[in-house]
Amino acid sequence: MLLGLPVSVILLDCIAAAAALVYAPFLVVALARLQLGYDQAAPRAMFDRLPDYAQRATWAHQNSFETFMLFSAAALMAFVTGVDSEAAGWAAIAFTIARLLFSVFYILNVPLGRSLMFAISSSCTATLFYFSLMAVNG
């Protein structure tokens, strides 16, 4: 039990939260597009006209898709293999928090913070893969 919840619940909750976080930066992009006058006929053509922060939000959104795929695979592996380690639960929580902060730092143009959050979230994903492989390989 971690924070009063089984690790399996934390893993699934963090997958759901990470999925939602994929779209969080896009809300910033949507706001910027509305301020420019959204072009229904050519929404992607607006990218060059977006302010710098909205362009960075687009990149954060794209990166979130990439990292979500790996994290969800790792968290699902941990779930399926019955990983019950508190460390695995903390890794899932840390991933989710790091990805939120990654997007914030990216949008605010804080490269060191963004890179640190990317490293932390990648380490969390690797940790979940490790625990899953250890669970099945003994």
Residue 41 has pLDDT above 80, yes or no: no
Q: Say whether 2 sits in a helix, a strand or coil.
A: strand
Cβ contacts of residue 13 below 8 Å, gap of 6+?
Answer: 5
Residue 48 has pLDDT above 90, yes or no: no
Average pLDDT over residues 45-73: 92
pLDDT tier at 109 (50, 70, 90 boundaries)? very high
The neighbour count for residue 98, using CB atoms within 10 Å, is 19
